[in-house]
Amino acid sequence: TKDVAAYEGDGGYVLIASPVCSVAPSADNGFLTSEYDLYAFDQAEADEWRNYKASSFNLVSGKGYLYASSTATTLTFVGQPYNGNGLVTLDYTEGADFAGWNLIGNPYATAATLSQPFYRLNNGSEVSATTETGSVNAMEGVFVVATEAGQTVTFSTENNSKAVEQVVMNVTRNRGTA
């Protein structure tokens, strides 16, 4: 599950991603409650943003989506967990207004590192860039920019400090009795 705060004014949009192979948005899983916005992004189209309300689609692992709701909600992803290799093929359409821009998402249910620098939305719904590869949270979408057709990026859960399970040990000292 992913908790999403209610949007306020022009802010409050989040980039989300599915950790299951495919999920159909519905009121039952929290996506289509209250007033909502759900968009897919395609840099090759004249209007890059595809509105779910105009043409429904399933959320698939490896892709990212733009989402907002007028009320706080919990999105529930139910289905076959993603178990692939984390490889995502990017689109690049020469001459497009946003040539090479791809909205992708962490396909895993844990944080994963991404093999290429990426852009994420901050709390004010403004795009901010990372300066190097880094960790992408579970169920988080990010933008990456391809420089040529057929380019790929890889999400990896290996050697990821955020994805590593922590072990907590409590040590007590028994002083005995006098």
* DSSP per-residue codes, 116-148: S--EEE-TTS-EEE-SS--EE-TTBEEEEE-SS
Q: List CB contacts of 127: < 8 A, sequence separation 6 or more.
A: 119, 120, 121, 143
Q: Give pTM, 2 decimals.
A: 0.84
- Which residues of the chain fall short of a pLDDT of 50? 161-178
**119-134: pLDDT as tens digits:** 888 655 566 666 556 8
**104-117: pLDDT as tens digits:** 999 999 999 998 99
Residue 159: what pLDDT? 63
Residue 130: what pLDDT? 61
